[in-house]
A and B are shown apart, each in its own frame.
Chain A
Amino acid sequence: MSFEIHVSRRLGDREIALSLSSGGGLTALFGPSGAGKTSLLNMVAGLLRPDIGWIAVAGETLYDSEKGVDVAIERRRAGYVFQDGRLFPHKRVRANLVYGERLADAANRWIGLDEVVTFLGIGGLLDRWPQTLSGGEAQRVAIGRALLSGPRFLLMDEPLASLDAPRREEIMRVIERVRDELALPILYVSHDRREIDRLATRVVELL
Chain B
Amino acid sequence: MGLTADEWDIIRLSLKVSFVAVGLCLPVAFALAWVLARGRFPGKLLLDGIVHLPLVLPPVVTGWLLLIGFGRNGPAGVLLYDWFGLTLIFRWTGAALAAAIMALPLMVRAMRLSIEAVDQRLEGAARTLGARPVHVFWTITLPLSLPGVLAGAVLGFARSIGEFGATITFVSNIPGETRTLPIAIYAALQVPGSEGVVTRLAIISVILSLVALIASEALSRRAGAGRGNHVL
Taking CB atoms, residues of chain A closer than 8 Å to B210 are none
Within 8 Å by CB of A103, from B124, B135, B227, B231, lies B135
A76 touching B227, Cβ below 8 Å = no
Does B129 have its Cβ within 8 Å of any Cβ on chain A? yes
B231 touching A99, Cβ below 8 Å = no
The docked-state distance in angstroms from the alpha carbon of A82 to that of B126 is 12
Does A45 have its Cβ within 8 Å of any Cβ on chain B? yes
The docked-state distance in angstroms from the alpha carbon of A145 to that of B139 is 16
Does A25 have its Cβ within 8 Å of any Cβ on chain B? no
B144 touching A90, Cβ below 8 Å = yes
Within 8 Å by CB of A82, from B125, B143, B144, B230, lies B125
Within 8 A of A (CB), among B98-114: none
The docked-state distance in angstroms from the alpha carbon of A190 to that of B29 is 44
Within 8 A of B (CB), among A83-131: 86, 88-90, 99-100, 103-104, 129, 131
Does A74 have its Cβ within 8 Å of any Cβ on chain B? yes
Which chain B residue lies CB-closest to A85?
B125
B25 CB to closest chain A CB, in angstroms? Answer: 25
Does A73 have its Cβ within 8 Å of any Cβ on chain B? yes
Within 8 Å by CB of B128, from A78, A90, A129, A131, lies A78
Does A47 have its Cβ within 8 Å of any Cβ on chain B? yes
Most chain B CB atoms below 10 A, which of A75, A88, A100: A88
Which chain B residue lies CB-closest to A84?
B121
The docked-state distance in angstroms from the alpha carbon of A97 to that of B122 is 14
B228 touching A145, Cβ below 8 Å = no
The docked-state distance in angstroms from the alpha carbon of A100 to that of B127 is 9
The docked-state distance in angstroms from the alpha carbon of A86 to that of B128 is 12
B67 CB to closest chain A CB, in angstroms? Answer: 45
With known contacts A47-B124, A88-B126, A90-B143, A74–B131 Cβ distance under 8 A: yes
With known contacts A86-B121, A88-B140, A131-B226, A80–B231 Cβ distance under 8 A: no
Taking CB atoms, residues of chain A closer than 8 Å to B40 are none
Within 8 Å by CB of B228, from A75, A78, A82, A131, lies A131
B121 touching A103, Cβ below 8 Å = no
Does A168 have its Cβ within 8 Å of any Cβ on chain B? no
With known contacts A90-B143, A131-B228, A132-B231, A145–B129 Cβ distance under 8 A: yes
Give me the 6 closest cross-chain CB pairs, A-B, nearest first.
Answer: A100-B129, A103-B130, A73-B127, A89-B227, A80-B128, A86-B125
